[in-house]
């Protein structure tokens, strides 16, 4: 793979401040992968990917960082469930109808939203968002839970996840991996590898592993986790 021009000039700064991806880097990135790096907030989104990686990398170097992150997720999950319980009680007392009236008044007086009208069922919308928050906190706590075996690279996993979001949502492309002789051979793999160049020379095998895990996770979110196959000759 050809590296971007003047790669050494674009190494991420050691401090937590300063731009990670220079304009020249972004120009080369756009040319190499066929998109406008400065359109539709692409530059800001890519810069955010790099900043998140840098922060996560520094957290990994701190003692008990994963444990602290997991405790934060668990605490947020607990508070979310507590708030949901309060809302369920309020829902039984026609709180939703009152909430809908206030939403209409606010809509007319303050023009709080740019939609065609006020929320049809604001309480139901709030329940959906809180359910999403609860699922997210449960997922986050699971991600930072201690596991046996090789130590996980949370920073790399995060960069792959955020890059997958950008690749699929911003660029509208399929995020996939094609493993061959220790390296990935897809554009998505090359894109992830390029975004990592300003930080460190990470082995292709580690990137492939992180991408495979992310792709599997996204597949499970759409279809549910795969069920283990029954042994041949047992059951129906």
Q: Read off the pTM.
A: 0.64
Domain match, 135 and 165 both = no
Domain match, 158 and 176 both = yes
Among 92, 122, 146, where does a domain finish?
A: 146
Domain match, 132 and 115 both = yes
Q: How far apart are CA 71 and CA 10, in angstroms?
A: 36
Domain match, 154 and 49 both = yes
DSSP single-letter state for residue 6: T
Any domain includes 73: yes
State how many domains the chain has. 2
Q: What is the pLDDT of residues 169-178, one digit of tens each?
A: 999 999 998 8
Question: Which residue is it, tokens 């999950």?
Answer: 77
Domain match, 92 and 135 both = yes
Q: How far apart are CA 44 and CA 22, in angstroms?
A: 11
Domain match, 112 and 126 both = yes
Task: Identify the domain containing residue 100 by its residue range.
Answer: 65-146
Domain match, 161 and 215 both = yes
Any domain includes 56: yes
Higher-pLDDT residue of 79 and 110 is 79
Q: How far apart are CA 222 and CA 90, in angstroms?
A: 32
Domain match, 103 and 74 both = yes
Contact 188, 176 (CB under 8 A): yes
Contact 188, 174 (CB under 8 A): yes
What mean pLDDT value characterizes the chain? 79
Any domain includes 48: yes
Domain match, 56 and 165 both = yes
Any domain includes 233: no
Contact 161, 212 (CB under 8 A): no
What are 49's two structure tokens?
A: 């990917």
Q: What is the pLDDT of residues 87-138, one digit of tens each?
A: 888 777 777 777 777 777 776 555 545 555 555 677 788 888 999 999 889 8
Q: How confident is the model at residue 7 (pLDDT cuts 50, 70, 90)?
A: very low
Domain match, 74 and 38 both = no
């Amino acid at each position: 793979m050809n590296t971007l021009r003047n790669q050494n000039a674009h190494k991420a700064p050691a401090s937590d401040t300063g731009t990670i991806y220079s304009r020249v880097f972004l120009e080369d990135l756009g040319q190499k992968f066929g998109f406008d790096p400065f359109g539709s907030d692409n530059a800001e989104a890519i810069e955010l990917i790099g900043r998140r990686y840098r922060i996560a990398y520094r957290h990994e170097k701190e003692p008990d960082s994963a444990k602290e992150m997991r405790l934060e997720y668990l605490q947020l999950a607990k508070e979310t469930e507590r708030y949901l319980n309060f809302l369920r009680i309020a829902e039984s007392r026609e709180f939703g109808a009152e909430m809908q009236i206030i939403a209409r008044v606010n809509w007319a007086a303050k023009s709080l939203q740019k939609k065609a009208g006020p929320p049809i069922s604001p309480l139901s919308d709030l329940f959906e968002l809180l359910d999403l928050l609860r699922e997210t906190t449960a997922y986050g706590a699971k991600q930072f839970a201690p596991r046996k075996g090789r130590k996980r690279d949370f920073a790399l996993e995060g960069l792959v996840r955020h890059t997958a979001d950008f690749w699929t949502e911003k660029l509208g492309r399929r995020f996939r991996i094609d493993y061959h002789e220790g390296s990935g051979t897809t554009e998505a793999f090359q894109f992830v590898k390029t975004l990592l160049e300003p930080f460190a020379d990470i082995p292709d095998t580690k990137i492939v592993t992180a991408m495979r895990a992310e792709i599997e996770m996204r597949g499970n979110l759409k279809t549910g986790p795969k069920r283990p196959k029954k042994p041949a000759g047992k059951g129906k």
